[in-house]
Amino acid sequence: MELLIIPIILIAIVIAIIIANVRIVPQANAFVIERLGAYYDTWDTGLHVKIPVIDRVAKRVSLKEAVVDFPPQPVITKDNVTMSIDTVVFYRIIDPKLYTYGVERPMMAIENLTATTLRNIIGDLELDATLTSRDTINSKITEVLDEATDAWGIKINRVELKNIMPPREIQDSMEKQMKAERERREKILQAEGEKKAAILVAEGEKESAILRADAIKESKIREAEGEAAAILKIQEATAAGIEMINKVQPSQEFISIKALESFEKAADGKATKIIIPSEIQGLAGLATSLTELAKKD
């Protein structure tokens, strides 16, 4: 019986040792394995078994993109303005072996490299250019860091300037400048509005004057056309009357009587002197004699 217990115990110990040395690597992770103190292998996602005592997991590395926020760094611009700038670095480990053995304390190395690179870039820019060139500064820092960290197994995806903080007196001056600029733009917009309003008013008055002139012109044209039409009608009526008279061939006496009537209308009690042709005078005397004879009868 005792002989059976010993093998069972040995088997149980072996199984326990195997189970204790089984490693499951999660997704987006990698294990760096050393054998007898030297790099042996990099385990990817899945089930792995290491040799007890001989193998050991030297480092567990996350392959996901990570972000690190570095504290503000003092920098000096080309025009000798001291400001504080803090950066945010987005990175990803692409080679777990280089990340494990390439550099001691990688994040501190990246922080110091970021600070020195930032000082070099800002030192070539003036204050105004620094405040308006975020994209350019980000691109330059990203390029420098990505090239430097290749030997560490790190890929720098991008670097962002989080805050740019000039000295307080510079901020006050900038605020005053911005306020003055806003007031200037407001005055320009107001002046342009008044100018456009004056132009619109002038154009309206011009169009109104043109319309009034056109109306007066049209009225005079219509009035002249009406007078011309009236004269034409009178002339046509006169011509028609003359034509009718010529057709009936009136006697000389009738013509003289009509002439006498016309002189009567012409006098109308207002004329002081009227010259009557001899033919009409004779006719008038005849008419007077006939009137007197009629009275005697």
Provide mean pLDDT across the span 246-264: 61
Q: Where are the domains of the chain?
A: 2-62, 66-166, 168-245, 250-264+278-297
Contact 83, 61 (CB under 8 A): no
Q: How confident is the model at residue 152 (pLDDT cuts 50, 70, 90)?
A: very high
Provide mean pLDDT across the span 21-44: 92
Beta strands 46-49 and 22-25: pairing type?
Answer: antiparallel
Q: Six-digit token pair at 75?
A: 């920098």
Among 77-81, 93-97, 241-245, the range with the most confident prediction by mean pLDDT is: 93-97
Lowest-pLDDT range of 37-41, 99-103, 192-196, 264-268: 264-268
pLDDT recorded at residue 117: 92
Phi, psi of 252 (to 5 degrees): -65, -35
pLDDT recorded at residue 222: 85
Q: Is the pLDDT of residue 296 over 50?
A: no
Contact 59, 95 (CB under 8 A): no
Q: Is the pLDDT of residue 133 over 50?
A: yes
Specify the higher pLDDT residue, 292 or 162: 162
Lowest-pLDDT range of 164-178, 188-202, 227-241, 245-259: 245-259
Q: Which residues, 6 or more positions from 174, have their beta carbon under 8 angstroms from its beta carbon?
A: 166
pLDDT recorded at residue 250: 61
Tell which CATH classification among 3.30.479.30, 3.40.50.2000, 2.60.40.10, 3.40.50.800 matches the domain 66-166. Answer: 3.30.479.30
Lowest-pLDDT range of 5-14, 131-140, 267-276: 267-276
Q: Is the pLDDT of residue 290 over 50?
A: no
Burial of 19: CB neighbours in 10 Å, binned 0-12, 13-18, 19+: exposed
